[in-house]
Amino acid sequence: MLWSSQEFKFIEMDDAYSTGSSIMPQKKNPDAAELIRGKIGRVYSSLLSLLTTLKGLPLTYNKDMQEDKEQFFDALDTVMDCLEIMSKMIDTLHVNEENMKAAIKAGFLNATEVADYLVSKGTAFRDAHEIVGKIIIYCEQKKKAIEDLTIEEIAKFSDSITDDIYEYIDYENILNKGNKKLIKQITK
């Protein structure tokens, strides 16, 4: 829901799963996602009801287990319906990759990679942390992203920085490393 908002515009939902706003004609409300989020309360309620029934079992005849079926099947039907709608909604979802890439660049999300790079070159992490902090302040003052700094600009923060840093902090390369690679594969 947040990703489809005007502030992010990371995704666009198909009209079949969203509606226009009554007061803002430019807005698309992610109705299906909001309704599914609302169903969580119903499913939790069924769970709580079932748990309350189960709590007394060690002490009695267990005839009260007749009451588990209604809650269980209601929760099951609700979850299955939600999964069906969510699956269809996701199938028609459009991902705005350019907006996502722009958001990544705006957040200095490769700053940790700079620290890792410095550590791999023998810099103590506490020193690398301080260096990256100074780089971020410099970038904010110059209104630049880390990867947009020239080698002369970035190298003045540490003698360990050479032009191989650009390969290290490239967002595509970052996404193809370690756990991030696994996440990228799962989301495809």
For residues 136 and 142, give the distance between their C-alpha atoms in angstroms, rounded to a whole number.
10
For residues 113 and 127, give the distance between their C-alpha atoms in angstroms, rounded to a whole number.
14
Taking only the tens place, the pLDDT of each residue in 127-184 is 999 999 999 999 999 999 999 999 999 999 999 999 999 998 998 888 787 665 555 5
Taking only the tens place, the pLDDT of each residue in 4-48 is 888 888 998 888 988 887 788 777 888 899 999 999 999 999 999
Single pTM value for the model: 0.64
Place of tokens 């490769």: 110
Taking only the tens place, the pLDDT of each residue in 45-90 is 999 998 888 887 777 667 778 888 898 999 999 999 999 999 999 9
